[in-house]
Amino acid sequence: MRDLVNPIADLFDAAVRHLTVQLRCPRCGWKAHFDPHAMWWLFERKGWDDRINQVLRHFYCSACREQRGASVRPGIALLDVSVKIDARLEMPTEQAWKRMLSRRR
């Protein structure tokens, strides 16, 4: 069920709600699950726009690229269930996370 009062606009919103980020290729079915805190931190450090509709600009399906040489952008889903995290990204420090939380309130 979507939260209409406070919609999820960016990766930070997904991290606050502890939603797992799933990327899935529409062509071959490859998928990967990311911790939302780590994905937000990656975008924050690189200065990338972390709005949900802009996230996919930075990802391609690695399976399609290796097998077919095609650059296929995956789809994105935010999962409310506990799933094993496939991709290992650096987590934000507690200080960085708390600083952003206080900035967003």
| Contact (Cβ atoms closer than 8 angstroms) between residue 54 and residue 38 | no
* pLDDT tens by residue, 11-57: 999 999 999 999 999 999 999 999 999 999 999 999 999 999 999 99
pLDDT digits (tens, 9 = 90+) for 84-95: 888 788 999 899
Residue 46 confidence (pLDDT)? 96
Given this model, what pLDDT does residue 86 score?
82
How far is Cα 34 from Cα 84, in angstroms, rounded to an integer? Answer: 9
Q: For residue 4, what pLDDT is reported?
A: 53
Domain ranges of the chain: 11-99
Residue pair 50/38 in contact (Cβ under 8 Å)? The answer is no
Q: Is the pTM of this model over 0.85?
A: no
Between CA 100 and CA 96 the distance in angstroms is: 6
Instruction: Say how far apart CA 69 and CA 43 lie, in whole Å.
Output: 26
Query: If pLDDT is split at 50, 70 and 90, which confidence band does 68 have?
Result: confident
**Among 2-11, 48-57, 62-71, 83-92, where is mean pLDDT lowest?**
2-11
